[in-house]
Copies of this chain bind each other. A is one copy, B any other.
Amino acid sequence: MAKPSKENSPITEHLAYLLAQANREINRQLELRLSKEGVPVEQWRILKVLSDDEGHSMGELADAVLLNHPTLTKMIDRMVSDTLVYRVQDPGDRRKVLMFISDRGKVLCKKLNSLAVDQEEHILESYGDKSTSELKRLLESLIDSSN
């Protein structure tokens, strides 16, 4: 009898694949909702992070919203044009730029938040309360264990 080997297990059994698939699907759904306001998911994340009015450097922000630095810079350029956010040089360390959300950005962010909440509720309905919180817990712990 052949030795069972992990090496030819189908792609669909790999954790990396399942994560990619789930991420793609959930992201697609969220994108669909946010497109009502014509805003990409990444911009919503940026607005949400900046909502604390504390001023975040580009580096912090890039980490928080899961974007590479140059990609973030260019996206922020667009958002500045749209007057959703603005740059301020960090007075304490002039290498840094602090990003802030504008009033217009806050108004938009509120609308986006409620669209996102819609989605989370939709997931809760079809997937269940228990599963959702358990999945969140496991994901957090996976992320933790990867650092």
Which residues of chain A have a CB within 8 Å of any CB of chain B?
6-8, 10-11, 13-27, 29-30, 41, 45, 48-49, 51, 64-66, 110, 113-114, 116-117, 119-120, 123, 126-127, 131-132, 134-136, 138-143, 145-146
Contact = CB atoms under 8 A, between A and B. Distances in A.
Interface of A: prevailing SS: helix
A104 to B, nearest CB: 18
Nearest to A126: B145
Contact of A15 (B11, B13, B15, B136): B136
Nearest to A42: B20
B143 A25 contact: yes
B64 A6 contact: no
Nearest to A25: B146
A20 B27 contact: yes
Contacts of A19: 19, 22-23, 26-27, 139
